[in-house]
Homo-oligomer: A and B are copies of this chain.
């Protein structure tokens, strides 16, 4: 009839070592404040008993848990892999644990998840949130928050330099002789999408290219396929997709329709996810420093958690770079509309217009 094998408490150790529990506590947290001898003995006894500090109880008085939440919109999106990895390593280096919250591309679901997490964690990084700015600020009032991939005033943010990335992409396309671009848009709630589209328009204007927007589409391969279907009705020689997944989906669908990439249409994606270099053709893309983003976000968050004054002013901006692979190529001039396009009835007229245009350079 042995007593239930509940884990030893600090009091058990204290008793066994013949000291007060407060001393044991000190021995574990403030190594200097206890005599070497005593400390030694306590640690020995503790080890024998198999004592382990209970992070939970420890958290109670101060209210700090050494956990931070990482909220992402869809764990199925490869975009997050490296981000999570970076966040994870930064967190664990600092002795923090990551609570993963998949918010499934839904603002309401996200709020609910966060509501639960908010009480448990010391801080939150909102990667690609779909919440409104005000909802974000609301949350930020309760806990330290860092927003990744989006700029929200009054809340510290980490973003990538979308305008520059877009510019690189457009310049690249322009150099290849493309004059009309189509943007395959991502989710409406996406800040990055707005950013990219705006930059795209501005840059295109500057470089005197024509640009059109299709969408919104889900930021997935399936979304890309849908985008391709719309695109095919009025194709252009170049496409900029909201992200790599959409780009890949579009390429697949286009290829299935008989188009050849990049010969018939050049495609550029964003993010440089793992899969981007594995597909055929390997994807030209605006690469984001994924791991660094996760790492930076967590780093800054922890700084705030530890009492640094959040510099909410200018978002931290990480550079991105264009990686040219094989999904982009010189524009070919068509006399007539491409064979693969779905230009049904009115399409042909249209395409005639376009081909004229193409020749009139």
A101, closest chain B residue (CB): B97
- Bound: A101/B88 CA distance, A: 8
Cβ of A102 under 8 Å from chain B: yes
- Bound: A60/B120 CA distance, A: 13
**Stretch from A77-85, A186-194, A351-359 forming part of the interface with B:** A77-85
CB 8 Å contact bits of A139-155 with B (1 = contact, 0 = none): 00010000000000000
Cβ of A303 under 8 Å from chain B: no
- Bound: A98/B100 CA distance, A: 6
Please give, as numbers and ranges, the residues of chain B lying within 8 Å of A142 by CB-CB distance.
7
Q: A56-B59, A76-B274, A84-B102 are in contact. List 13 more A-B contacts (CB 8 A).
A: A55-B120, A57-B60, A67-B99, A75-B81, A78-B81, A84-B100, A85-B102, A88-B100, A97-B99, A97-B117, A98-B99, A99-B99, A279-B280
Q: Jot down 8 A-B pairs with beta carbons below 8 A, ordered by A.
A: A52-B118, A56-B119, A56-B120, A75-B84, A84-B102, A99-B99, A274-B275, A280-B280
CB 8 Å contact bits of A54-75 with B (1 = contact, 0 = none): 1111011001010100000001
Please give, as numbers and ranges, the residues of chain B lying within 8 Å of A84 by CB-CB distance.
75, 100, 102
State whether B65 touches A75 (Cβ < 8 A): no
Please give, as numbers and ranges, the residues of chain B lying within 8 Å of A81 by CB-CB distance.
75-76, 78, 81
Number of copies: 2
Please give, as numbers and ranges, the residues of chain B lying within 8 Å of A211 by CB-CB distance.
none
Cβ of A130 under 8 Å from chain B: no
- Of the candidates A7, A56, A279, the one having the most CB atoms from chain B within 10 angstroms of its own CB is A56
State whether B78 touches A92 (Cβ < 8 A): no
Shortest A337–chain B CB gap in Å is: 27
Cβ of A345 under 8 Å from chain B: no
Interface residue ranges of A178-201 to B (CB < 8 Å): none
A291, closest chain B residue (CB): B76
Interface extent on A, as a size class?
A: 35 or more
Please give, as numbers and ranges, the residues of chain B lying within 8 Å of A75 by CB-CB distance.
81, 84-85, 88
Cβ of A124 under 8 Å from chain B: no
A76 in complex: contacting residue of B67, B82, B221, B279, CB < 8 Å: B82
Please give, as numbers and ranges, the residues of chain B lying within 8 Å of A98 by CB-CB distance.
99-100
Cβ of A53 under 8 Å from chain B: yes
Shortest A97–chain B CB gap in Å is: 6
State whether B76 touches A65 (Cβ < 8 A): no
Interface residue ranges of A234-286 to B (CB < 8 Å): 248, 252, 274-275, 278-280
Please give, as numbers and ranges, the residues of chain B lying within 8 Å of A67 by CB-CB distance.
99, 120
Shortest A103–chain B CB gap in Å is: 10
Shortest A307–chain B CB gap in Å is: 14
A59, closest chain B residue (CB): B56
Cβ of A30 under 8 Å from chain B: no
Cβ of A309 under 8 Å from chain B: no
Interface residue ranges of A271-324 to B (CB < 8 Å): 274-275, 278-280
Cβ of A108 under 8 Å from chain B: no
Cβ of A132 under 8 Å from chain B: no
